């Protein structure tokens, strides 16, 4: 049968749920991902802090979709999209030497859900000193650095160097940074408390640095306050209005806005000061940038590289191409749809439903995100 071919790029929340929503559709579905597993990213910080093993947050995509006879899964890295020619160029994945190098996959409909990567605000040299948290490899590297810092401190006899080894700085006060800081505080004060003889792990200094005035900026004020209070109770030092301007082998340099008395609403901060935090371990949880594929789809991407889409999640000039998840910018009721897993799941399902409707010759429907709390 000459079925329409649907290609899905990305096996994250958006792409995987798009593929599952196409079960039974009169279409041949191909899902392409750089890895052969689906990663449950919300719990990735627990792998980074040695609370979970990698197998607890990763499941093989082929196993998840094993009962869908109209779906095939390919391991590869999509590095070029040709909307005019309706084709995708696939290269080898990071885990393989060969793969689909130079292979071209044609499509009738395309769902792009390739997500986002780390952004270091114009300082790529910081990546070596401050790893981010997007993949299993990132989480394992973070865990290695954290645990080895305690081991090195156990051997260190100089008090100053030992304190630097026991100081951890997390850059970024979003959900990932808050979770990392809390988990680090728990393993230092509880999990590792009785495991060492020369150091006291509970004395570790954990500093969470956020450039804006609040932690969890997109959240409601009561949730922000609750998160900050919980971190303080765990012993985390929370620094807001502190912009990181330097990261090196010995620590972090921040540009800090001193607190001012708000006698008049809107009063500007006083002169900036610089603060130095000596730390052996720096973890990055600040900026993200959308997949570079986005700029191949649109010239109107925002500063983070996200693609503006139509209300039905399609590209305005290419209605057969749908963009979902962290790669898309969607506005609803005057506010952007948040870049979280539930939004990506709902968008992936909505894009799949619109593809199925288009295959049947029906008009597509507007996507609306529903916040379930």
Q: Is 283 left (phi over 0), alpha (psi -120 to 50) or beta?
A: beta
* Radius of gyration (C-alpha) of the chain in whole angstroms: 23
Rounded to an integer, what distance in angstroms lies between the CA atom of residue 27 and that of residue 1? 10
DSSP, collapsed to helix, strand or coil, labels residue 30 as strand
Q: Which residue has the tokens 């005019």?
A: 84
CA angle 145, 147, 150 (to 5 degrees): 110
Rounded to an integer, what distance in angstroms lies between the CA atom of residue 313 and that of residue 357? 14
Q: Which residues contact 262 (CB under 8 A, 6 or more apart)?
A: none
Among 326, 354, 365, smallest CA distance to 14 is for 326
Q: How far apart, in Å, do the first and last CA atoms of the chain sit?
A: 44
Catalytic positions are 179
228, 215 Cβ separation under 8 angstroms:
yes
Q: Concatenated DSSP letters for 93-143?
A: -TT-SSSSTTEEEE-SEEEE---EEEE-TT-TTHHHHS---SSHHHHHHHH
Q: Parallel, antiparallel, or unpaired: how do β-strands 28-33 and 109-112 relate?
A: unpaired
Half-sphere exposure of 125 (CA within 13 A, CB side): 5
Q: How many CB atoms lie within 10 A of CB 222?
A: 8
């Amino acid at each position: 049968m000459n079925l329409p071919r649907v290609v899905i790029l990305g096996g994250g929340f958006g792409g995987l749920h798009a593929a599952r929503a196409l079960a039974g559709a009169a279409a041949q579905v191909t899902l392409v991902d750089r890895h052969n597993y689906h990663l449950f990213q919300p719990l990735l910080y627990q792998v980074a802090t040695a609370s979970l093993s990698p197998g607890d947050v990763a499941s093989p995509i082929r196993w998840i979709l094993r009962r869908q006879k109209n779906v095939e899964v390919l391991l590869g890295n999509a590095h070029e999209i040709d909307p005019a020619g309706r084709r995708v160029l696939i290269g080898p994945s990071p885990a393989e030497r060969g793969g689909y190098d130079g292979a071209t996959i044609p499509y009738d409909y395309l769902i792009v859900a390739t997500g986002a990567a780390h952004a270091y605000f114009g300082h790529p040299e910081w990546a070596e000193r401050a790893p981010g948290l997007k993949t299993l490899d990132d989480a394992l590297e973070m865990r290695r650095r954290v645990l080895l810092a305690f081991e090195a401190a156990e051997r260190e006899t100089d008090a100053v160097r030992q304190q630097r080894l026991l100081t951890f700085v997390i850059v970024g006060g979003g959900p990932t940074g808050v979770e990392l800081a809390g988990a680090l505080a728990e393993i230092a004060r509880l999990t590792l408390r009785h495991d060492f003889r020369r150091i006291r792990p509970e004395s570790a200094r954990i500093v969470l640095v956020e450039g804006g005035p609040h932690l969890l900026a997109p959240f409601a004020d009561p949730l922000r306050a609750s998160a900050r209070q919980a971190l303080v109770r765990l012993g985390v030092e929370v620094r807001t209005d502190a912009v990181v301007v330097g990261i090196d082998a010995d620590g972090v340099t921040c540009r800090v806005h001193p607190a001012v008395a708000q006698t008049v609403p809107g009063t500007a901060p006083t002169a900036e000061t610089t603060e130095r935090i000596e730390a052996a371990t720096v973890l990055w949880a600040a900026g993200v940038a959308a997949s570079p594929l986005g700029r191949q789809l649109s010239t109107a991407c925002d500063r983070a590289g996200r693609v503006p889409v139509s209300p039905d999640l399609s590209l305005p000039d290419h209605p057969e191409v749908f963009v979902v998840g962290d790669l898309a910018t969607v506005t609803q009721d005057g506010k952007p749809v948040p870049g979280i897993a539930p939004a990506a799941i709902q968008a992936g399902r909505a894009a799949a439903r619109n593809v199925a409707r288009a295959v049947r010759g029906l008009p597509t429907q507007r996507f609306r995100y529903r916040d379930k709390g």
